[in-house]
Structure 1
Amino acid sequence: MKNHLAGTHDNVGACSQVSEDVMNMFLQLLSGKKQDNIIDVDCFEEKNIEGKSKGGTMDAYVTKGRAKQQGLNQMMKQREPVIRDICRVIYGHALAFNLVKSPLFKKMLKSVGEYGVGLKPPSYHEVRVSFLKKEVDHVNASLEVYRKEWKKTGCTTMSDGWTDGKSRSLTNFLVKNPSGTVFIKSIDTSGVIKNSMKLFEMLDDIVNEIGEENAVQVVTDSASAYVGASRLLEEKRTKLFWSLCAAHCLDLMLSDIGELMVFKDTIIKAKEIAVYVYRHAWVLDLFRKFTKNRELTRPAVTRFATAFLTLKSFQDRKLQLRAMFASEERARSSYSTSVNAKKAQGTILGDARFWKAIKYCLKCVLPLVKILRLVDGDAKLAMGFIYEAMDRAKEEIASNLNHVRGRYKRIWEIIDTRWDLQLHRPLHAAAYYLNPM
């Protein structure tokens, strides 16, 4: 029965209706099977001895076991309608399924269970006003732990601009130090996004809020208004550094490289093929059959990184793509006769330069994409590694192209221009110098 409910397929079929937590419970029981058996035998022997001395029988012990099993069955029956109601809330309000993995969700259910019968749900006013204010106070109180850390280690203020569904320009402000990243506030910057003085005043207020003595640097993107605002900020607060977002700078490098003719033409052709494949459900289904459900597009942290990782997907699926476009199944379909279909087929099957260009493009840009992953991830603090990473990337590009300077000269020039103008900052140099690795 344990193997049946645990779904181990060990001499018994797996139960198709068992819930995940019950399955996990029986898997844990089976993992300690040897110890469980010893306990069961000892208990059985003790009961058997007691049966002789106190008039008990083996039947009584077995009956007790059956009662326990019936209790477990009853518990599972009572759980099902409760879980169904919880799931209906998730389904009815289109909530993400991974909500059930949230520690907050689990804590909520635990609190409800501990309260017991008769809990009155929160009112609309409580959710919207009373408890919202209490939660804001709680979050502000929890920030004090981080503020104490900021005084010890200093911190970085980061601005992250984006556009919402109403086409408003919003800017999120976050503060980062070795203890973690904290969201401070979001501001509607639609009216000031191109005004250096207004942006300066906004950044200055943020520095005041976190404490000038705590602020080591401010990180923004490279928009001209932000560059002007940050220079004003450095002039007023002489101990503060401004740095350009490294991920944004690397994306601009990839953008500049993408404007070179061979890169631009190759990306355009790849996009045309991807559009043809993904626009028609039948063609997409055929493509997935040939590639075993692999995708042709590769989303990445930035738009230009996505373009180059899509080229990597083309290279990885070259044989499957050629086989699909050459297949009789596609040739007989109505999706092979349009102008776009014939153009895509000509590129895939008849344009050898397209595949050579993809290989060349990837040799030039993948080392930069690696750095983009480094600076955009949270695996480790990246600032002390950027100098070395950029040097290694340039050397890797040269090595990929067999050190033929004419093939990588223009790429190096683009990297150096962006690096010298935007990313070559004093803090990066100090972090590199002080990095023991």
Structure 2
Amino acid sequence: MSQLLKKDLRQDACRGIARWFYNNALSFNASRDDLFAEMFELVARHGPGCTIMSDGWTDRKRRSICNFLVNCPRGTSFVKSIDTSGVIKNTEKVFQMLDNIVEKVGEEHVVQVVTDNASAYKAAGERLMAKRKHFHKTTISKGKKITNFIYARTNLIAMMKEFTNDRDLVRAGATRFATSYLSLARLSEQKGNLMTMFASEKWRKSSFASIQEGKRIQGIALDGRFWTNVVNCLRAALPVVKVLRFVDGEEKPAMPFLFQELCEAKLKIKSNFSNMEKR
């Protein structure tokens, strides 16, 4: 998976740089200038910021608990745990909860908030983005739109499996957070097949291609920026997913080894971003 992500990211970067040269009719010799390399180094140092992640679960007393974490290449930090039993169906309360977390972390440090896909969270997320206008719409949400659109239509599932060699796009995990990212990883694995499907004659002749929602989904699937964001999400999140799966396992007690697992996840994230701590 790591090699696949690196390859995809490099290809997308090369295509983007090449388009910039072509569109501006620049000589490729310009890339030999020392300032060209310095420019990319400074961009890399600036980096995209951090992600606030929420992971909902139910304890033995049937209470809904939500853990909030902040993730960046420097590591993952626990922010707080909240009993959301009386909150999860109330959009206003969910919005206030998310907004307070963003305020605690610092809006200037946050580029996205990854939450549960429940209706109250989705509505609260829209309000949060309206208030915090620099937020990006989450890549994970776009990934879910692709899978939800396909799996709501039997004929489209059949078409998709023709292109993915009968592979599914949804993969279950121990928690909703893990499931979201594992499904995003499956999307990444099938990137080429999905892009081929949405660009195919079979898709163009289907009834799905003519409806507005189908056009939006096709636009997401053929957007190189979306796939670049998928790669970046996975580079930051998969090491954390590994820790969550370890904690959820029953083979051995997790607590004595948790610190070591978190340290390894931190190093892996740092490695995934080429040891650029500020990314």
**Aligned residue runs from structure 1 range 60-99, under 5 A:** none
* 282 and 395 in structure 1: CA distance in 2 versus 1, 3 angstrom threshold: same
**Is the CA contact 2:178–2:241 (under 8 Å) kept in the aligned structure 1?**
yes
Aligned residue number for residue 404 of structure 1: 276
Asked whether 1:288 is paired with 2:161, we answer: yes
- Please list every run of 5 or more consecutive structure 1 residues that lacks an aligned counterpart in the other structure: 1-159, 163-169, 173-188, 195-220, 227-255, 408-437
The structure-2 alpha-carbon separation of the partners of 1:336 and 1:267, relative to structure 1 and needing over 3 Å to count, comes to same
Aligned to 1:87: none
Whichever residue aligns with residue 396 of structure 1, its letter is K
Structure 2 SS opposite 1:405: coil
Q: Is the contact made by 2:243 and 2:262 (CA closer than 8 Å) also made in structure 1? A: yes
For 1:345 and 1:224, how far apart are their aligned partners in 2? Answer: 39
Give me the whole-angstrom Cα distance separating, in 2, the residues matched to 1:388 and 1:257: 26
Q: Which residue of 2 aligns with 1:171?
A: 61
2:139 maps to 266
Partner of 1:333: 206
Find the counterpart in structure 2 of residue 108 from structure 1: none
Partner of 1:378 in structure 2?
Answer: 250
Q: 1:387 aligns with which of 256, 259, 277?
A: 259
Deviation at 1:291, TM superposition (A): 1.1
C-alpha distance after superposition, 1:197-249 (max 9, x if no partner): xxxxxxxxxxxxxxxxxxxxxxxx944599xxxxxxxxxxxxxxxxxxxxxxx
Contact 2:173 2:179 survives alignment (8 Å) = yes
1:374-416 deviation line (CA, Å, top 9, x unaligned): 1111122212110111111111111100111221xxxxxxxxx
Cα distance between partner residues in 2 of 1:403 and 1:378: 33
Paired residue for 2:184? Answer: 311
1:257 CA displacement: 5.6
Alignment of 1:104-143 (within 5 A): none
Does the residue aligned with 2:61 lie in a helix, a strand or coil? strand
SS of 2:183's equivalent in the other structure is: helix
Shift of 1:261: 4.1
SS at match of 2:138: helix
- Partner in structure 1 of residue 172 of structure 2: 299
Correspondence for 2:218: 345
Q: Residue 167 of structure 2 aligns to a residue in which SS? A: coil
2:114–2:138 Cα contact (<8 Å) kept: no
Aligned partner of residue 174 in structure 2, secondary structure: coil
User: How far has the Cα of 1:287 moved from its partner?
Assistant: 0.4
Greater percentage in helix: 1
Corresponding letter in the other structure for 1:343: R
Which secondary structure state, in structure 1, belongs to the residue aligned with residue 275 of structure 2? Answer: coil
The 3-state SS of whatever aligns with 1:360 is helix
| Residue 364 of structure 1: aligned partner | 236
Partner amino acid for 1:365?
Answer: A
Aligned identity (percent) is 35
Deviation at 1:345, TM superposition (A): 1.0
Report Cα offsets for 1:320-358 as digits up to 9, x if no partner.
101111121121111111111111111112x11101101
Q: Is contact 2:169–2:186 with CA below 8 Å preserved after alignment?
A: yes
Distance 2:160 2:225 in 1: 23
Measure the CA separation in 1 of the matches of 2:240 and 2:253: 18
Which letter maps to 1:324? M
Q: Distance in 2 between matches of 1:374 and 1:261?
A: 31
Q: Deviations over 1:290-328 (max 9, x none)?
A: 112211111111111111111101110011101111121
1:265 CA drift (Å): 2.2
Q: What is the TM-score with the length of structure 2 in the denominator?
A: 0.54
For 2:251, the aligned partner's letter is A
SS of structure 2 residue aligned to 1:406: coil
- Name the CA shift for 1:276/1:224 in 2 (closer, same or farther; >3 Å): closer
How do 1:249-264 and structure 2 match up within 5 A? 258=114, 261-262=135-136, 264=137
* C-alpha separation in 1, matches of 2:141 and 2:177: 12
Counterpart code for 1:317: Q
Structure 2 runs not aligned, ≥5 long: 1-56, 66-79, 86-111, 116-133
Decide whether aligned partners of structure 1 residues 324 and 225 sit closer, same or farther in structure 2, where only a CA change above 3 A counts. Answer: closer
8 Å contact from structure 2 (residues 113, 138) kept in 1: no
Shift in alpha-carbon separation, 1:396–1:257, aligned structure 2, 3 A: farther
Q: Which has the larger radius of gyration?
A: 1
- The number of residues matched between the two structures is 165
